[in-house]
A = this chain, B = another copy of it.
Amino acid sequence: MSAPIFKEIDSHGITDVPGFRASGVHCDVRQKGNDQLDLGIIFSENPCSVAGTFTRNRIKAAPVLKCMELLDGDDPIHGVVANSGNANACTGVEGLANAAAMTEQAEEYLCGQGGKLLVCSTGRIGRQLPMKEVRKGVELAVGHLTDDSTGGKNFAKCILTSDTREKKITVVVESESGDSVTLAGVAKGAGMIRPDMATMLAFLATDLKISQVDLQTELGLAVKTSFNAITVDGDMSTNDTVLCFANGVGSVNWNSASGSFKEAFREALDLVCKRLAKLIVGDGEKITKVVTLKIETAESENSALEVAYAIAHSPLVKSSWAGSDPNWGRVVAAAGYSGVPVVENDLRMFYDDVLVFEKGLPVDVNLPKWQTVVDQKEFVIRLDLGMGEASAELIASDLTPEYINFNMKE
């Protein structure tokens, strides 16, 4: 017997996990006459424990409301129907009916008595789903369900909107006794990303046997430091959803698993969530920099986050990142107006490991080194507040003229 380990494998998406079939098809939800994949299904014959995390926006899209309702109930859940191109948000009673119709059609084909599918939508808001196209899509997607890699790859594609690439990762966790569990994740992101997962969808699947309650606890912990610790433009969408499906067909049962296996699975879940989150920021609309903000020696995690968000959402800071301008002044000023009572003379700021600001003054002698750091596509800004023991991390992006151009017209 050896200690539990987890390793990343070449990912084809959800179908890497035993017992899951998937598909992604084109039905022209956008009604633009192109051939973009825009509807897909994840399906497990075995019913799943499902954990979910949803947008905290008060304006929740119909599919979000539908998912929340189903997760509160006792019906066996077998998977999810998802579409891109139309968010089914701000669509009133008709939108709720359409979300229900989408899943009912798929359930009729796929599920036994009482079996349910969840539903996710992303895309333009305020327009009713084109149900003729959607019905055609659901029928096609049911027909194309497969457990080979095509299914996983096509599903990963069909959820994309302004993303430029698929986002997927698969990890295998081996127990001491040689049993293994697979965990795969796919996501879509781009614009309107901020904590609480704005306009992002992520789907995770595993063959671990685990109760819904335990899965929800584990997912909640992993989401907090991954999908909820990223920001592109500070906007938070009506549709953000992270779902994790556990169909229990594998040979490991969470209840009887060793402590060290649980640790390994947690690390794997963290890795999957963090990797997908970072892929989302890195593929944010028209961004050129990924900046990790580490706020340290804060009074509390919350105050560290307040400082991080003030910096990450400052248009002046983000513009300077776009220009590779080592403008520490804007960063310090943003910390100053964050609402946290920082003390100028106690702040210490670093670009990667290079000291930038100390005792109320810039460390100008390091200017050439700062420039080298901020010229990189990815770098870290560390800000010590000198106020306590807490810290927080936030992954942010720059703001480019191209982002504005891209978003000037929907």
Contact = CB atoms under 8 A, between A and B. Distances in A.
Contacts of A124: 329
A196 B125 CA distance: 34
Nearest to A340: B58
A314 interface: yes
Interface in A287-337: 313-316, 319-320, 322-323, 325, 327-330, 332-337
B59 A332 contact: yes
A140 interface: no
A360 interface: yes
Contacts of A360: 90-92
B402 A314 contact: no
A362 B90 contact: yes
Nearest to A195: B337
Given A235-B334, A332-B59, A408 B325 contact: yes
A319 B58 contact: no
Most B C-beta atoms less than 10 A away, residue of A90, A125, A313? A90
B90 A315 contact: no
A192 B315 CA distance: 9
A236 interface: yes
Contact of A332 (B90, B314, B333, B334): B90
A234 interface: yes
Nearest to A407: B319
Interface magnitude class on chain A? 35 or more
A90 B407 contact: no
Contacts of A341: 58
A405 interface: yes
Most B C-beta atoms less than 10 A away, residue of A320, A341, A360, A407? A407
Interface string A43-62: 00000000000011111100
Contact of A58 (B342, B401, B403, B408): B342
Contacts of A403: 315, 319, 404
Given A60-B344, A92-B361, A236-B333, 10 more contacts: A58-B344, A59-B342, A59-B344, A90-B344, A90-B357, A90-B360, A92-B360, A126-B362, A235-B316, A313-B313
25 contacts: A55-B337, A58-B342, A59-B332, A59-B333, A59-B335, A91-B361, A92-B359, A92-B361, A124-B329, A125-B329, A125-B333, A196-B337, A198-B337, A234-B314, A235-B337, A236-B336, A315-B399, A319-B408, A320-B407, A320-B408, A320-B410, A325-B408, A325-B409, A401-B404, A403-B404
Interface of A: 55-60, 89-92, 124-126, 191-192, 196, 198, 233-238, 313-316, 319-320, 322-323, 325, 327-330, 332-337, 340-345, 357, 359-362, 399-410
